[in-house]
Homo-oligomer: A and B are copies of this chain.
Amino acid sequence: MTKPTGARAAAIPALAEVFREHGYAGASLALLGERAGLGKGSLYHAFPGGKAEMADAVLDSIGAWFEAEIYSALRDDPDPHAAIRRMLSETDAYFRSGRRVCLVGAFALSDGRDRFAERIAGYFAAWRDALAGALHRAGRAEAEILAEDAVLSIQGGLVLARALDDPDVFGRLLGRLERRLCAAP
């Protein structure tokens, strides 16, 4: 039932979790293989490019998920406020209400920044631009500024929630964002 590349796709979520928790440098092949349930042989069969290709695949997968679940609605939904609310609730679910960290943000901060710079920049730029478009369609002034501030706040919320070990920080932020982003024009 699985395509030839099925093992690859199946392994990606586990690999993502390891990169998320340990960073690029900290994610060892031993750990990656163990958590993916794959021996080193299988791992290198599915990802001939090694660790870098695994990280590439994980970033691709994350980018595709956000594109499909969040950005596209922000761009195309005729009701921009609905798209924004959907963004907030999907974001809440994706980051497990602040208990989970943003892999792209973590990569941006430390190791792997240079290696994956374009992909990282693209991820955030797409988010900011899609959100700015929705805000613009909703008739808000300074949509770009508002969007930049929202994207940045989400990242900061994840950092602070993790640092204080208090997921509510993230929940409170999302509440504030809904008020800020869905206010009357």
Contacts and interface: CB of A to CB of B under 8 A. Distances in A.
B108 A162 contact: yes
Contacts of A145: 172, 176
Interface residues of A, number: 41
A113 interface: yes
Copies of this chain present in the complex amount to: 2
B159 A110 contact: no
A67 to B, nearest CB: 17
A106 interface: yes
A13 interface: no
Contact of A110 (B26, B121, B155): B26
Given A23-B23, A105-B109, A109-B105, A152 B162 contact: no
Interface string A172-185: 11001000000000
A43 interface: no
User: Which among A110, A155, A159 has the highest number of chain B CB atoms within 10 Å?
Assistant: A110
A163 interface: yes
A105 B21 CA distance: 14
Given A121-B163, A172-B145, A173-B152, A109 B101 contact: yes
Contacts of A105: 109, 159, 163
A92 to B, nearest CB: 15
